[in-house]
Amino acid sequence: MSETRRRRRSEGRARTYRNARRLGWLFSVLVTVAVLCLVFFIWLYPLKIVDESMAPALSSGEVVLCDRIGKFIRMPERGDIVLFSTKDGLFIKRIVGMPGETVELVEGHVFINSIPLDESSYAVNYVGDMPPVEVPAGSVFVLGDNRDEMYDSRLETVGSIPFDKIQAVLRLRVSPFSRITYFS
Domain assignments of the chain as residue spans, ordered by start: 1-44, 49-182
Predicted pLDDT at 8: 61
Task: Return d(Cα 90, Cα 70) in angstroms, integer.
Answer: 18
The backbone torsions φ and ψ at residue 158, rounded to the nearest 5 degrees and listed phi first, read: -100, -60
Q: What angle do CA 120, 142, 177 make, to 5 degrees?
A: 65
Predicted pLDDT at 102: 96
Task: Return d(Cα 84, Cα 157) in angstroms, integer.
Answer: 14
Q: Going by CATH, does the domain composed of 49-182 fall within 2.10.109.10?
A: yes
Predicted pLDDT at 13: 76
CA atoms within 13 A on the CB side of 36: 6
**Residue 89 is inside which H or E element, if any?**
strand 89-97
Q: Which residues are catalytic?
A: 53, 93
**Residue 116 is inside which H or E element, if any?**
strand 115-116
The answer for residues whose C-beta is within 8 angstroms of residue 98's C-beta and 6 or more apart is: 77, 78, 135, 140, 141
Nearest to 80 by CA among 63, 98, 62, 103: 98
Rounded mean pLDDT for each run of 10 residues along the chain, 184 residues in total: 62 77 85 80 86 88 92 90 90 94 91 90 76 95 86 89 93 88 84
Task: Return d(Cα 155, Cα 166) in angstroms, integer.
Answer: 17
Predicted pLDDT at 67: 92
Q: Is the CB of residue 66 less than 8 Å from the CB of residue 76?
A: no
Predicted pLDDT at 9: 60
Name the pTM for this structure.
Answer: 0.78
